[in-house]
Structure 1
Protein backbone atom coordinates (compact mmCIF):
# COMPACT_ATOMS: atom_id res chain seq x y z
CA UNK A 1 0.00 0.00 0.00
CA UNK A 2 1.42 3.39 -1.02
CA UNK A 3 2.09 5.78 1.86
CA UNK A 4 0.06 8.52 0.17
CA UNK A 5 -2.97 6.21 0.03
CA UNK A 6 -2.59 5.42 3.72
CA UNK A 7 -2.37 9.10 4.71
CA UNK A 8 -5.36 9.92 2.53
CA UNK A 9 -7.33 7.10 4.15
CA UNK A 10 -6.53 8.39 7.64
CA UNK A 11 -7.65 11.92 6.72
CA UNK A 12 -10.85 10.57 5.21
CA UNK A 13 -11.69 8.68 8.42
CA UNK A 14 -10.96 11.75 10.55
CA UNK A 15 -13.24 13.91 8.39
CA UNK A 16 -15.94 11.25 8.63
CA UNK A 17 -15.73 11.16 12.45
CA UNK A 18 -16.08 14.92 12.82
CA UNK A 19 -18.96 15.23 10.35
CA UNK A 20 -20.82 12.21 11.76
CA UNK A 21 -20.76 13.32 15.40
CA UNK A 22 -21.61 16.95 14.75
CA UNK A 23 -24.38 15.74 12.43
CA UNK A 24 -25.69 13.50 15.22
CA UNK A 25 -25.76 16.49 17.56
CA UNK A 26 -27.79 18.41 14.96
CA UNK A 27 -30.15 15.45 14.55
CA UNK A 28 -30.97 15.49 18.26
CA UNK A 29 -32.72 18.82 17.77
CA UNK A 30 -35.32 16.91 15.73
CA UNK A 31 -35.97 14.22 18.36
CA UNK A 32 -38.43 16.20 20.54
CA UNK A 33 -40.52 17.00 17.46
CA UNK A 34 -40.49 13.91 15.25
CA UNK A 35 -38.60 11.25 17.23
CA UNK A 36 -35.48 9.20 16.41
CA UNK A 37 -37.14 6.85 13.89
CA UNK A 38 -38.38 9.61 11.58
CA UNK A 39 -35.05 11.41 11.98
CA UNK A 40 -33.17 8.26 10.93
CA UNK A 41 -35.48 7.72 7.95
CA UNK A 42 -35.12 11.34 6.77
CA UNK A 43 -31.38 11.35 7.31
CA UNK A 44 -30.68 8.23 5.24
CA UNK A 45 -33.32 8.70 2.55
CA UNK A 46 -32.54 12.38 1.86
CA UNK A 47 -28.78 11.79 1.74
CA UNK A 48 -29.28 8.81 -0.57
CA UNK A 49 -31.60 10.83 -2.81
CA UNK A 50 -29.14 13.73 -3.01
CA UNK A 51 -26.28 11.40 -3.91
CA UNK A 52 -28.40 9.62 -6.50
CA UNK A 53 -29.18 12.92 -8.22
CA UNK A 54 -25.50 13.93 -8.20
CA UNK A 55 -23.75 10.63 -8.99
CA UNK A 56 -26.27 8.71 -11.12
CA UNK A 57 -25.21 5.24 -9.91
CA UNK A 58 -25.32 2.57 -12.63
CA UNK A 59 -27.20 0.11 -10.44
CA UNK A 60 -28.95 -1.51 -13.44
CA UNK A 61 -25.58 -2.92 -14.50
CA UNK A 62 -24.95 -4.78 -11.23
CA UNK A 63 -25.04 -8.54 -11.05
CA UNK A 64 -27.13 -10.45 -8.50
CA UNK A 65 -24.01 -10.99 -6.38
CA UNK A 66 -23.25 -7.27 -6.40
CA UNK A 67 -26.83 -6.43 -5.43
CA UNK A 68 -26.70 -8.88 -2.51
CA UNK A 69 -23.46 -7.33 -1.19
CA UNK A 70 -24.88 -3.79 -1.54
CA UNK A 71 -28.12 -4.86 0.16
CA UNK A 72 -26.27 -6.28 3.18
CA UNK A 73 -24.17 -3.11 3.30
CA UNK A 74 -27.26 -0.90 3.28
CA UNK A 75 -29.28 -2.92 5.79
CA UNK A 76 -26.40 -3.13 8.28
CA UNK A 77 -25.90 0.64 7.96
CA UNK A 78 -29.61 1.33 8.39
CA UNK A 79 -30.10 -0.87 11.45
CA UNK A 80 -26.92 0.51 13.03
CA UNK A 81 -28.24 4.06 12.58
CA UNK A 82 -31.69 3.22 13.93
CA UNK A 83 -30.23 1.66 17.08
CA UNK A 84 -27.82 4.57 17.52
CA UNK A 85 -30.45 7.29 17.20
CA UNK A 86 -32.74 5.57 19.66
CA UNK A 87 -29.73 5.27 21.99
CA UNK A 88 -28.85 8.99 21.88
CA UNK A 89 -32.50 9.88 22.48
CA UNK A 90 -32.05 8.28 25.93
CA UNK A 91 -28.37 8.73 26.87
CA UNK A 92 -25.66 11.38 26.12
CA UNK A 93 -23.97 11.34 22.71
CA UNK A 94 -20.43 10.70 24.02
CA UNK A 95 -21.63 7.86 26.26
CA UNK A 96 -23.54 6.18 23.43
CA UNK A 97 -20.58 6.29 21.04
CA UNK A 98 -18.19 4.99 23.70
CA UNK A 99 -20.48 2.00 24.39
CA UNK A 100 -21.12 1.47 20.68
CA UNK A 101 -17.42 1.28 19.99
CA UNK A 102 -17.18 -2.13 21.65
CA UNK A 103 -18.50 -3.54 18.34
CA UNK A 104 -15.60 -2.63 16.02
CA UNK A 105 -13.09 -3.36 18.80
CA UNK A 106 -14.39 -6.90 19.18
CA UNK A 107 -14.35 -7.27 15.38
CA UNK A 108 -10.70 -6.22 15.27
CA UNK A 109 -9.82 -8.78 17.96
CA UNK A 110 -11.69 -11.54 16.10
CA UNK A 111 -9.97 -10.72 12.80
CA UNK A 112 -6.51 -10.63 14.38
CA UNK A 113 -6.81 -13.86 16.48
CA UNK A 114 -4.48 -12.15 18.97
CA UNK A 115 -4.60 -12.59 22.75
CA UNK A 116 -3.31 -9.03 23.13
CA UNK A 117 -6.28 -7.67 21.19
CA UNK A 118 -8.64 -9.66 23.42
CA UNK A 119 -6.99 -8.02 26.44
CA UNK A 120 -7.44 -4.61 24.88
CA UNK A 121 -11.13 -5.37 24.36
CA UNK A 122 -11.25 -6.30 28.04
CA UNK A 123 -9.81 -2.90 28.92
CA UNK A 124 -12.46 -1.20 26.77
CA UNK A 125 -15.19 -3.17 28.53
CA UNK A 126 -13.81 -2.05 31.89
CA UNK A 127 -14.09 1.51 30.58
CA UNK A 128 -17.70 0.99 29.52
CA UNK A 129 -18.37 -0.58 32.91
CA UNK A 130 -17.42 2.71 34.54
CA UNK A 131 -20.65 4.18 33.19
CA UNK A 132 -22.46 1.57 35.29
CA UNK A 133 -20.37 2.48 38.33
CA UNK A 134 -21.26 6.13 37.74
CA UNK A 135 -24.95 5.20 37.70
CA UNK A 136 -24.69 3.09 40.87
CA UNK A 137 -23.02 6.00 42.67
CA UNK A 138 -25.86 8.28 41.64
CA UNK A 139 -23.56 10.46 39.53
CA UNK A 140 -25.54 9.83 36.34
CA UNK A 141 -28.78 8.21 35.23
CA UNK A 142 -28.31 6.03 32.17
CA UNK A 143 -31.54 4.73 30.70
CA UNK A 144 -31.34 0.94 30.11
CA UNK A 145 -32.96 1.26 26.68
CA UNK A 146 -30.23 3.67 25.62
CA UNK A 147 -27.48 1.32 26.78
CA UNK A 148 -29.03 -1.72 25.06
CA UNK A 149 -29.52 0.21 21.81
CA UNK A 150 -25.93 1.51 21.92
CA UNK A 151 -24.71 -2.09 22.24
CA UNK A 152 -26.98 -3.08 19.34
CA UNK A 153 -25.54 -0.24 17.27
CA UNK A 154 -22.06 -1.53 18.09
CA UNK A 155 -22.96 -5.02 16.83
CA UNK A 156 -24.29 -3.68 13.54
CA UNK A 157 -21.32 -1.30 13.27
CA UNK A 158 -19.06 -4.35 13.17
CA UNK A 159 -21.30 -5.95 10.53
CA UNK A 160 -21.30 -2.67 8.60
CA UNK A 161 -17.49 -2.64 8.44
CA UNK A 162 -17.43 -6.18 7.03
CA UNK A 163 -20.28 -5.50 4.60
CA UNK A 164 -18.71 -2.24 3.40
CA UNK A 165 -15.39 -3.99 2.75
CA UNK A 166 -17.14 -6.74 0.80
CA UNK A 167 -19.21 -4.30 -1.27
CA UNK A 168 -16.16 -2.14 -1.95
CA UNK A 169 -14.40 -5.12 -3.52
CA UNK A 170 -17.37 -6.07 -5.72
CA UNK A 171 -18.80 -2.72 -6.85
CA UNK A 172 -16.78 0.14 -8.30
CA UNK A 173 -17.62 3.83 -8.18
CA UNK A 174 -18.69 6.05 -5.29
CA UNK A 175 -22.26 6.09 -6.63
CA UNK A 176 -22.89 2.82 -4.83
CA UNK A 177 -23.15 4.66 -1.51
CA UNK A 178 -26.29 6.42 -2.79
CA UNK A 179 -28.07 3.09 -3.22
CA UNK A 180 -26.69 1.89 0.12
CA UNK A 181 -28.19 4.91 1.90
CA UNK A 182 -31.57 4.43 0.22
CA UNK A 183 -31.60 0.76 1.25
CA UNK A 184 -30.46 1.82 4.71
CA UNK A 185 -33.61 3.92 5.13
CA UNK A 186 -35.85 0.84 4.83
CA UNK A 187 -35.47 -0.54 8.40
CA UNK A 188 -36.66 2.79 9.86
CA UNK A 189 -39.58 3.20 7.46
CA UNK A 190 -42.34 1.32 9.39
CA UNK A 191 -41.96 3.47 12.52
CA UNK A 192 -40.52 6.56 10.83
CA UNK A 193 -43.45 7.16 8.47
CA UNK A 194 -45.64 8.39 11.34
CA UNK A 195 -44.13 11.90 11.45
CA UNK A 196 -42.80 12.12 7.90
CA UNK A 197 -45.62 14.42 6.73
CA UNK A 198 -44.76 16.87 9.51
CA UNK A 199 -41.18 17.15 8.25
CA UNK A 200 -42.23 17.49 4.61
CA UNK A 201 -44.64 20.36 5.34
CA UNK A 202 -42.53 22.37 7.82
CA UNK A 203 -39.70 24.37 6.20
CA UNK A 204 -37.69 24.60 9.43
CA UNK A 205 -37.90 20.86 10.10
CA UNK A 206 -37.09 20.09 6.47
CA UNK A 207 -33.95 22.26 6.58
CA UNK A 208 -32.85 20.53 9.79
CA UNK A 209 -33.46 17.15 8.18
CA UNK A 210 -31.46 18.09 5.07
CA UNK A 211 -28.60 19.44 7.21
CA UNK A 212 -28.60 16.24 9.23
CA UNK A 213 -28.62 14.15 6.05
CA UNK A 214 -25.59 16.01 4.70
CA UNK A 215 -23.52 16.12 7.90
CA UNK A 216 -24.47 12.78 9.43
CA UNK A 217 -24.83 10.57 6.34
CA UNK A 218 -23.84 11.96 2.96
CA UNK A 219 -20.42 13.29 3.97
CA UNK A 220 -19.24 10.68 6.52
CA UNK A 221 -20.35 7.53 4.69
CA UNK A 222 -18.94 8.74 1.39
CA UNK A 223 -15.63 9.44 3.14
CA UNK A 224 -15.69 6.08 4.93
CA UNK A 225 -16.39 4.19 1.71
CA UNK A 226 -13.45 5.94 0.04
CA UNK A 227 -11.26 5.21 3.08
CA UNK A 228 -12.09 1.49 2.96
CA UNK A 229 -10.66 1.40 -0.55
CA UNK A 230 -7.34 2.60 0.84
CA UNK A 231 -7.20 0.84 4.22
CA UNK A 232 -7.79 -2.76 5.40
CA UNK A 233 -10.94 -3.21 7.55
CA UNK A 234 -8.97 -3.80 10.76
CA UNK A 235 -7.02 -0.55 10.34
CA UNK A 236 -10.19 1.29 9.37
CA UNK A 237 -11.94 0.08 12.53
CA UNK A 238 -9.07 1.16 14.75
CA UNK A 239 -8.78 4.61 13.19
CA UNK A 240 -12.33 5.23 14.32
CA UNK A 241 -10.97 5.22 17.87
CA UNK A 242 -11.20 9.00 17.84
CA UNK A 243 -15.00 8.85 17.65
CA UNK A 244 -15.74 8.62 21.43
CA UNK A 245 -13.64 11.72 22.08
CA UNK A 246 -15.14 13.58 19.10
CA UNK A 247 -18.66 12.62 20.21
CA UNK A 248 -18.04 13.74 23.79
CA UNK A 249 -16.69 17.05 22.47
CA UNK A 250 -19.69 17.54 20.16
CA UNK A 251 -22.08 16.72 23.01
CA UNK A 252 -20.35 19.23 25.25
CA UNK A 253 -20.09 22.05 22.68
CA UNK A 254 -23.47 21.68 20.98
CA UNK A 255 -25.73 19.93 23.49
CA UNK A 256 -24.36 21.06 26.85
CA UNK A 257 -23.81 17.42 27.83
CA UNK A 258 -21.12 17.47 30.50
CA UNK A 259 -19.31 14.22 31.22
CA UNK A 260 -18.14 13.38 34.74
CA UNK A 261 -14.68 12.17 35.78
CA UNK A 262 -15.63 8.49 35.51
CA UNK A 263 -17.22 9.12 32.13
CA UNK A 264 -14.09 10.82 30.81
CA UNK A 265 -11.99 7.98 32.21
CA UNK A 266 -14.25 5.53 30.36
CA UNK A 267 -13.64 7.37 27.09
CA UNK A 268 -9.89 7.38 27.75
CA UNK A 269 -9.85 3.63 28.43
CA UNK A 270 -11.77 2.84 25.24
CA UNK A 271 -9.51 5.10 23.16
CA UNK A 272 -6.44 3.57 24.85
CA UNK A 273 -7.71 0.11 23.97
CA UNK A 274 -8.00 1.21 20.34
CA UNK A 275 -4.50 2.65 20.34
CA UNK A 276 -3.18 -0.56 21.91
CA UNK A 277 -4.88 -2.66 19.24
CA UNK A 278 -3.52 -0.42 16.50
CA UNK A 279 -0.01 -0.69 17.95
CA UNK A 280 -0.20 -4.48 17.99
CA UNK A 281 -0.94 -4.42 14.25
CA UNK A 282 1.80 -2.02 13.28
Structure 2
Protein backbone atom coordinates (compact mmCIF):
# COMPACT_ATOMS: atom_id res chain seq x y z
CA UNK A 1 0.00 0.00 0.00
CA UNK A 2 2.81 2.42 0.81
CA UNK A 3 4.54 1.66 -2.51
CA UNK A 4 1.34 2.50 -4.39
CA UNK A 5 0.99 5.75 -2.40
CA UNK A 6 4.57 6.80 -3.19
CA UNK A 7 3.99 6.04 -6.89
CA UNK A 8 0.90 8.27 -6.86
CA UNK A 9 2.97 10.98 -5.14
CA UNK A 10 5.69 10.84 -7.85
CA UNK A 11 3.10 10.86 -10.64
CA UNK A 12 1.32 13.82 -9.03
CA UNK A 13 4.58 15.73 -8.64
CA UNK A 14 5.41 15.12 -12.31
CA UNK A 15 1.91 16.23 -13.32
CA UNK A 16 2.26 19.48 -11.35
CA UNK A 17 5.58 20.12 -13.09
CA UNK A 18 4.17 19.46 -16.55
CA UNK A 19 1.13 21.68 -15.87
CA UNK A 20 3.40 24.48 -14.61
CA UNK A 21 5.60 24.06 -17.68
CA UNK A 22 2.54 24.37 -19.90
CA UNK A 23 1.75 27.71 -18.25
CA UNK A 24 -1.03 30.00 -19.31
CA UNK A 25 -3.88 28.90 -17.08
CA UNK A 26 -7.39 27.77 -17.89
CA UNK A 27 -8.65 31.15 -19.12
CA UNK A 28 -6.69 30.77 -22.37
CA UNK A 29 -7.42 27.06 -22.75
CA UNK A 30 -8.61 26.08 -26.22
CA UNK A 31 -11.22 23.31 -25.82
CA UNK A 32 -10.29 21.66 -29.13
CA UNK A 33 -6.61 21.75 -28.20
CA UNK A 34 -7.41 20.35 -24.75
CA UNK A 35 -9.40 17.53 -26.36
CA UNK A 36 -6.46 16.73 -28.64
CA UNK A 37 -4.10 16.84 -25.64
CA UNK A 38 -6.32 14.41 -23.72
CA UNK A 39 -6.43 12.16 -26.77
CA UNK A 40 -2.65 12.31 -27.05
CA UNK A 41 -2.36 11.45 -23.36
CA UNK A 42 -4.64 8.47 -23.84
CA UNK A 43 -2.52 7.32 -26.78
CA UNK A 44 0.67 7.67 -24.69
CA UNK A 45 -0.93 5.56 -21.96
CA UNK A 46 -1.92 2.93 -24.54
CA UNK A 47 1.58 3.07 -26.03
CA UNK A 48 3.16 2.41 -22.63
CA UNK A 49 0.83 -0.49 -21.82
CA UNK A 50 1.05 -2.10 -25.27
CA UNK A 51 4.81 -1.60 -25.52
CA UNK A 52 5.29 -3.32 -22.18
CA UNK A 53 3.15 -6.24 -23.37
CA UNK A 54 4.96 -6.38 -26.71
CA UNK A 55 8.31 -6.38 -24.95
CA UNK A 56 7.25 -9.37 -22.85
CA UNK A 57 5.62 -11.25 -25.73
CA UNK A 58 8.29 -10.92 -28.44
CA UNK A 59 11.97 -11.80 -28.00
CA UNK A 60 14.51 -9.01 -28.32
CA UNK A 61 13.09 -6.26 -30.57
CA UNK A 62 11.05 -8.49 -32.91
CA UNK A 63 7.74 -6.84 -32.00
CA UNK A 64 9.22 -3.39 -32.49
CA UNK A 65 10.64 -4.38 -35.88
CA UNK A 66 7.24 -5.69 -36.94
CA UNK A 67 5.55 -2.47 -35.76
CA UNK A 68 8.07 -0.35 -37.70
CA UNK A 69 7.47 -2.33 -40.90
CA UNK A 70 3.69 -2.00 -40.53
CA UNK A 71 4.01 1.75 -39.88
CA UNK A 72 6.24 2.17 -42.93
CA UNK A 73 3.86 0.23 -45.17
CA UNK A 74 0.87 2.24 -43.91
CA UNK A 75 2.58 5.61 -44.38
CA UNK A 76 4.32 4.86 -47.69
CA UNK A 77 1.24 5.52 -49.87
CA UNK A 78 0.89 8.98 -48.31
CA UNK A 79 4.54 9.72 -49.10
CA UNK A 80 4.14 8.50 -52.67
CA UNK A 81 1.02 10.64 -53.17
CA UNK A 82 2.79 13.72 -51.78
CA UNK A 83 6.28 13.30 -53.25
CA UNK A 84 6.06 10.72 -56.02
CA UNK A 85 9.34 10.01 -57.80
CA UNK A 86 11.29 12.28 -55.43
CA UNK A 87 11.26 9.36 -52.98
CA UNK A 88 13.58 7.39 -55.28
CA UNK A 89 16.36 10.01 -55.19
CA UNK A 90 19.30 8.37 -53.35
CA UNK A 91 19.94 11.37 -51.09
CA UNK A 92 16.27 11.42 -50.09
CA UNK A 93 16.37 7.70 -49.31
CA UNK A 94 19.56 8.16 -47.26
CA UNK A 95 18.14 11.11 -45.32
CA UNK A 96 14.89 9.22 -44.77
CA UNK A 97 16.80 6.24 -43.41
CA UNK A 98 18.81 8.48 -41.07
CA UNK A 99 15.66 10.18 -39.80
CA UNK A 100 13.97 6.80 -39.32
CA UNK A 101 16.86 5.46 -37.26
CA UNK A 102 17.40 8.58 -35.16
CA UNK A 103 13.77 9.52 -34.58
CA UNK A 104 12.08 6.13 -34.37
CA UNK A 105 14.20 3.00 -34.31
CA UNK A 106 16.77 4.12 -31.73
CA UNK A 107 14.41 5.89 -29.28
CA UNK A 108 11.75 3.17 -29.42
CA UNK A 109 14.35 0.43 -28.98
CA UNK A 110 15.73 2.21 -25.90
CA UNK A 111 12.20 2.70 -24.55
CA UNK A 112 11.42 -0.98 -25.12
CA UNK A 113 14.55 -1.95 -23.21
CA UNK A 114 13.53 0.37 -20.36
CA UNK A 115 9.99 -1.03 -20.29
CA UNK A 116 11.38 -4.54 -19.89
CA UNK A 117 13.23 -3.44 -16.76
CA UNK A 118 10.78 -0.96 -15.22
CA UNK A 119 7.13 -1.21 -14.26
CA UNK A 120 4.82 0.77 -16.55
CA UNK A 121 3.93 3.39 -13.86
CA UNK A 122 7.62 4.20 -13.26
CA UNK A 123 8.22 4.40 -17.00
CA UNK A 124 5.22 6.73 -17.37
CA UNK A 125 6.64 9.13 -14.77
CA UNK A 126 9.98 9.07 -16.58
CA UNK A 127 8.20 9.92 -19.85
CA UNK A 128 7.16 13.18 -18.20
CA UNK A 129 10.81 14.20 -18.55
CA UNK A 130 10.27 14.87 -22.26
CA UNK A 131 8.65 18.33 -21.86
CA UNK A 132 11.30 19.29 -19.31
CA UNK A 133 14.07 18.14 -21.65
CA UNK A 134 12.45 20.06 -24.52
CA UNK A 135 12.34 23.23 -22.40
CA UNK A 136 15.96 22.73 -21.35
CA UNK A 137 17.02 22.19 -24.96
CA UNK A 138 15.16 25.35 -25.96
CA UNK A 139 17.04 27.24 -23.27
CA UNK A 140 20.48 25.83 -24.11
CA UNK A 141 20.29 25.49 -27.89
CA UNK A 142 17.70 28.03 -29.03
CA UNK A 143 18.45 30.68 -26.39
CA UNK A 144 14.84 30.70 -25.21
CA UNK A 145 14.15 32.33 -21.86
CA UNK A 146 13.07 30.21 -18.90
CA UNK A 147 11.08 31.86 -16.14
CA UNK A 148 11.41 30.96 -12.48
CA UNK A 149 8.16 29.01 -12.82
CA UNK A 150 9.59 27.09 -15.79
CA UNK A 151 12.72 26.23 -13.81
CA UNK A 152 10.59 25.10 -10.84
CA UNK A 153 8.45 22.98 -13.18
CA UNK A 154 11.53 21.31 -14.65
CA UNK A 155 12.90 20.67 -11.15
CA UNK A 156 9.59 19.07 -10.09
CA UNK A 157 9.51 16.78 -13.12
CA UNK A 158 13.15 15.76 -12.70
CA UNK A 159 12.63 15.23 -8.97
CA UNK A 160 9.57 13.06 -9.63
CA UNK A 161 11.47 10.97 -12.17
CA UNK A 162 14.42 10.48 -9.83
CA UNK A 163 12.06 9.62 -6.97
CA UNK A 164 10.11 7.13 -9.06
CA UNK A 165 13.27 5.34 -10.16
CA UNK A 166 14.88 5.40 -6.70
CA UNK A 167 11.75 4.10 -4.97
CA UNK A 168 11.75 1.26 -7.50
CA UNK A 169 15.47 0.51 -6.95
CA UNK A 170 14.68 -1.42 -3.77
CA UNK A 171 13.37 -4.31 -5.85
CA UNK A 172 15.29 -6.27 -8.45
CA UNK A 173 14.92 -5.23 -12.10
CA UNK A 174 12.81 -7.45 -14.32
CA UNK A 175 14.68 -9.86 -16.54
CA UNK A 176 14.39 -9.78 -20.31
CA UNK A 177 12.32 -12.59 -21.76
Using the size of structure 2 for normalisation, the TM-score is 0.64
- In the TM superposition, residue 165 of structure 1 has moved relative to its aligned partner by 1.7
Distance 2:4 2:59 in 1: 32
Unaligned runs of 5+ in 2: 171-177
- In the TM superposition, residue 118 of structure 1 has moved relative to its aligned partner by 2.7
RMSD value over aligned CA atoms? 3.9
Match of 2:109 in 1: 222
CA change 1:255–1:175 in 2 (3 A) is farther
Please tell me whether Structure 1 or Structure 2 has the larger radius of gyration of its CA atoms. 2
SS at match of 1:119: helix
Task: Assess if the C-alpha contact under 8 Å between 1:199 and 1:206 holds in 2.
Answer: no
Q: Does 1:130 align with 2:17?
A: no
Out of 58, 69, 72, the position equivalent to 1:182 is 69
Match of 2:174 in 1: none
- In the TM superposition, residue 243 of structure 1 has moved relative to its aligned partner by 3.4
Out of 6, 9, 16, the position equivalent to 1:119 is 9
Match of 1:5 in 2: none
CA change 1:235–1:118 in 2 (3 A) is closer
- Cα-to-partner distance string for 1:144-163 (whole Å, 9 max, x where unaligned): 76665454333222221211
Task: Assess if the C-alpha contact under 8 Å between 1:238 and 1:275 holds in 2.
Answer: no
Aligned length, in residue pairs: 166
- In the TM superposition, residue 268 of structure 1 has moved relative to its aligned partner by 1.8
CA change 1:147–1:250 in 2 (3 A) is farther
Out of 247, 251, 261, the position equivalent to 2:138 is 251
Using the size of structure 1 for normalisation, the TM-score is 0.45
Unaligned runs of 5+ in 1: 1-111
